[in-house]
Amino acid sequence: MNQTIDQYAAGAPGVEAPPRIAARTERFLDDPRKKSPLVAAILSAMPGLGQVYVGYYQQGFIHIAAIAGMIALIATDSIDRDLQGPLGFFMAFTWLYNVIDAARRASLYNQALSGLRPMDLPEDAKGPRRMGSFGGGVVLIGAGLVLFGHTMFGMSLAWVADWWPMALVGLGAWLVYQDRQAKSAGSGRAAGTSDVGAQ
C-alpha cells in the first residue's frame, strides 16, 4: 500500500490513486471552504486583500501598511530624491510579492484542507488563525479615538505629518517581539522533546 502511494505521488504512469486518497480528493473538489489562487492573486491588486480573502488577516494588514507607508514616503518628499528610485523598486517588489504570496497561501490552504499537503508548511502559512490581535485592536482603538477627537472636538491632526514614521517603528518592534516569542516557544518545545527522549 505504501509503495502504491509513493508511486502515485511520484507520478508513475499507470498508477491510480489509492481509494483513500481518491475519496479524499473527491471530497475536496466539492469543499466550499477551498479558496481560488487566481481570485486571491487578483484581489491582491489591492495589497493585502488576497491574504484577507484566504483568511490571513494579519499578513494582509502588514502588506497594506508596508505599501501605504512607502507610497506616503515617496509622495510627501520626506526622503532624499536619490532614495526615491530604490524605494520605488522595493515597493514594486513588495507589491508583486504580495500577489504571489496570496496565490501561494490559497494553494497551500487548499492542500491542507484536502490532506494532500506534500510538505511541512512555513510557520506563518500553516493556517489562518481564528483569534483576535491585541496589537491590532490597540492600534484601531487609538486611531479611532484620534479621529473622534478631530471630528467631534476639532482637534488638529497636523502632528500626524511629523509623527507617522513612529508607526513604522512600532510595527517593526512588534514584529521583532513576535519573532522572539516564536523562537523561544520553538526552543521550549525542542527542549521538552529532548527531555522526553532522554527518559
User: What's the pLDDT score for residue 182?
Assistant: 78
Residues 6+ apart with CB under 8 A from 174: 135
- Count, in order, helices (H) and strands (E) of the chain: 9, 0
First CA to last CA distance, the chain: 34
Q: Residues of the chain with pLDDT > 70: what percent?
A: 65
pLDDT grade for 81, boundaries at 50, 70 and 90: confident
Average pLDDT over residues 74-84: 72
Does the pLDDT of residue 99 top 90, yes or no? Answer: yes
pTM of the entire predicted model: 0.52
C-alpha 172/C-alpha 102 separation (Å) is 22
User: What's the pLDDT score for residue 177?
Assistant: 85
Cα dihedral 103→104→106→111 (10° resolution)? 140
Cα atoms found within 13 Å of the Cα of residue 138, Cβ hemisphere only: 7
